[in-house]
Amino acid sequence: MMNVGRNSLWKGDSIALFVLQPTDVSPNYVSWLNNPVVNCYLESRFSTHTQDSTRKFVESCLVDPTVLFLGIRYLDWRHVGNIKIAVSRHHKLGEVGVLIGEKDVWGKGIASKSISMIMEIAKTELGLRKLTAGCYASNLGSQKAFLKAGFQIECQRKDHFLLNGNPEDMILMASFLR
């Protein structure tokens, strides 16, 4: 795990980020990963997830020194999603991925607030200089969240993914942490 404690907590105005533990893997969390509406832009959609497999994944993130995997809690302290940074220490880079699993909170700015918070953690606590992210071109919600948080589009890879059997472009974004 990164240089943060297992009980680390970062609070914002309406969200909090916390280090995910295997005990945080609830049936509801696993349901996000198996819901075709929620996971339609995730590579994890190609697998069926169980509480056991998801707990093992969370545990693997905890012991990986290049990964910081955080849960996102919303106003009511409910776990509504996750955000992750995969770090390249040699280049002081981080690749960010975010999932808002609870559909009833989509469109409330939770993803962009989480991205902004992870940017600050990456800069001040992890010493990174740049964050990157990628998404499917039709994932407008993800693009909007990253752009709102201060990322910029660097390029577009044509026909990079297959989505429902059809070629789909990949949007690559980045933010320099100054």
SS (H, E, C) the chain: CCCCCCCCEEECCCCEEEECCHHHCCHHHHHHHHCCCCCCCCHHHHCCCCHHHHHHHHHHHHHCCCEEEEEEECCCCCEEEEEEEEEECCCCEEEEEEEECCHHHCCCCHHHHHHHHHHHHHHHCCCCCEEEEEEECCCHHHHHHHHHCCCEEEEEEEEEEEECCEEEEEEEEEEECC
* Domain 9-176 of CATH type 3.40.630.30: yes
User: What's this model's pTM, rounded to 2 decimal places?
Assistant: 0.93
Digit-coded pLDDT (tens) for 85-117: 999 999 999 999 999 999 999 999 999 999 999
Q: What pLDDT score was predicted for residue 9?
A: 85
Q: What pLDDT score was predicted for residue 12?
A: 86
Q: Where are the domains of the chain?
A: 9-176
Which residues, given as ranges, of the chain have pLDDT below 50?
A: 1
